[in-house]
Amino acid sequence: MATKKESADGANLPLLPVAEGEEPWSTEEIAEVRAVLAEDAAQLRAAALEAQAELASLMTEGVDGAGKDPADVGSSNFERDQELSLAANTREVADQTELALQRFDAGNYGICESCGKPIGKARLLAFPRATLCLACKQREERR
């Protein structure tokens, strides 16, 4: 496939690859996906920090749990586990979004990290933080 670069008038946004059969990215779509990524990254990072703080306070509370009703201890352990996995999950998504943003700014956004093929416009518009094409993502999930 030809990767002919058009002389975009004044636009300094990178050209993003598309999957076979897809329309080329429009300047608006590129700007939009970049804006969504930047916004998500900021929000997710804030959420991750918040979850971390929440977790820290739950951990502190846990220390003076002596003398409590065992049922209360059980439920606060459950709550702590929930917070723990939420915090880990949020941090992971935040990291992934920041990675996608870095790739965008480095000019290799939209290329599958695993097979090097275009991730595809439709997939990126639906999941701007995707760094794997659908085929690679599905293969990874099956492992």
**Under rule CB under 5 A, residue 124 binds Zn ion:** no
| Shorter beta-carbon distance to Zn ion: residue 58 or 120 | 120
Distance of CA 18 to the CA centre of its chain: 20
- Cα gap 142→57, rounded to integer Å: 37
| Shorter beta-carbon distance to Zn ion: residue 124 or 136 | 136
Q: Enumerate residues 82-121 that contact Zn ion by CB under 5 A.
A: 112, 114-115
**Under rule CB under 5 A, residue 35 binds Zn ion:** no
| Shorter beta-carbon distance to Zn ion: residue 44 or 124 | 124
Least distance (Å) between residue 41 CB and Zn ion: 23
**Under rule CB under 5 A, residue 130 binds Zn ion:** no
SS3 labels along 44-102: HHHHHHHHHHHHHHHHHHHHCCCCCCHHHHHHHHHHHHHHHHHHHHHHHHHHHHHHHHH
Least distance (Å) between residue 16 CB and Zn ion: 15
Least distance (Å) between residue 55 CB and Zn ion: 34
The encoded tokens of residue 80 equal 């702590």
| Shorter beta-carbon distance to Zn ion: residue 30 or 110 | 110
Q: Is the dihedral of CA 79, 81, 87, 89 positive or negative?
A: negative
Contact between 96 and 41 under an 8 Å Cβ cutoff? The reply is no
Of residues 18, 51, 130, 136, which one binds Zn ion by CB under 5 A? 136
Interface ranges with Zn ion (CB under 5 A): 112, 114-115, 133, 136
